[in-house]
Structure 1
Amino acid sequence: MANLSWKQYFDKRAEVHGASVQSSDYYNEESFFLQRNHTLGWLGELHDKEILDAGCGVGAFSEPLVGSNTVYGVDFSERSLAFAAERGLRTSSDDLTALHFDEGKFDLVLCIGVIQLIEQYRAVIKELARVTKPGGTLLIETLHRRSWQRKVLRLFEKTKKFDRMYAMDELKKVLIEHGFEHIEFLKIYHPFSYVSKGNAEWNVHDRLCTSFAIKGSKKHV
């Protein structure tokens, strides 16, 4: 789907669902909050950080970080950004392949549930790497291509949700190419509350892993 179509899609969802997490097209609210809690818990306590939520939607994912940090949110859905601003994010409508921020601005860059919707994902990761400061963290969360559940759902649900999925080693390679080290994974097994963590990108049990987050630390030059 083209960017204009995605903009119209998410503008419409924000119009219908308002500030609800359903505006961002999660499976359900329980799934969203479980995923958010695990991911933010994985990052640990954050204070006085400059944070970018790239593809923030209505801002629900990064909202818990607002009180102790400066959180910026970018998205091409202006209707969604209005709700993100109400949550305390500093918002702007931006192209994720050409952000207006200075190089090395952010201590943490989040990109949650976005790259599966974007063909030019490498250009997005390159740009997110550019705005991550040396020593800072880039965290991307997306759908797992090797998941048995995803493969079955793809047969029956012909929607944009399955336009693109990723293997863990695929994204690990891209992050390393853009100067990240200490790569780690958070593996999510929806609908179960169980998650696993580590630096190994693959084992046989991960056929049950439905989505994953990958994070890395940007090297100092």
Structure 2
Amino acid sequence: MDSLFPRPRTEIAPGAVHVPGWLDAGGRRELVAACREWAGGPVPLRRTRLPRGGVMSVQTVCLGWHWRPYRYSRTADDVNGRRVAPFPVWLGDLGRRAVADACGPAVAEGYAPDAALVNFYDEHATMGMHQDKDERGDDPVVSLSIGATCVFRFGNTQTRGRPYTDVELASGDLFVFGGPARFAYHGVPRVRPGTADPSSGLERGRLNLTLRVTGLAG
């Protein structure tokens, strides 16, 4: 369908860019295979417990730095105490290419992500509106989607409510947000049923990889 009706590159807000179909089929399969390996540990895929006791419906594995609400650490003290898997050099290269294609080479110059959150959504998983603000800088966030299509809600920097824009992120889509959009609230209210991408090697559900620059040392 996309070959007949290509989806255009779109600036959703200043600094927030959606590039449909950025990852080709081979790239999607390679990332799915890597995610399966990362999910096995040393810190395995898990559902994050929130400060008020709730548990996230998505399952997450981290690379480079372990994330839990409001902090990063090298070891997963809330899971098994082990050091997370290292952040691969090739994934950083992919992130720089993503920023260059979405925002231009000037923005990509010097972009050096050192952490990734790999989130798996089953058909019932959602993500509430939130800001990515546990990092110490304002470098762009790179988001890569593989598998089922989701509704990605991209909002404003002041409130979880309106105004916001709903964007459909399909398998292979790239979304980058930085600049004035870096601290915008965003979330995933639903995954579209019947939109899986078996050609990627993922028979069901959705994988989302977000690459970040933590600004941390050690």
Same fold by TM-score, threshold 0.5 exceeded?
no
Interval of TM-score (by shorter of Structure 1 and Structure 2)? under 0.3
| Structure showing the higher strand proportion among its residues | 2
Q: Which has the higher contact order (CA 8 A, sep 6+)?
A: 2
| Structure showing the higher helix proportion among its residues | 1
TM-score by length of 2: 0.28
TM-score by length of 1: 0.27
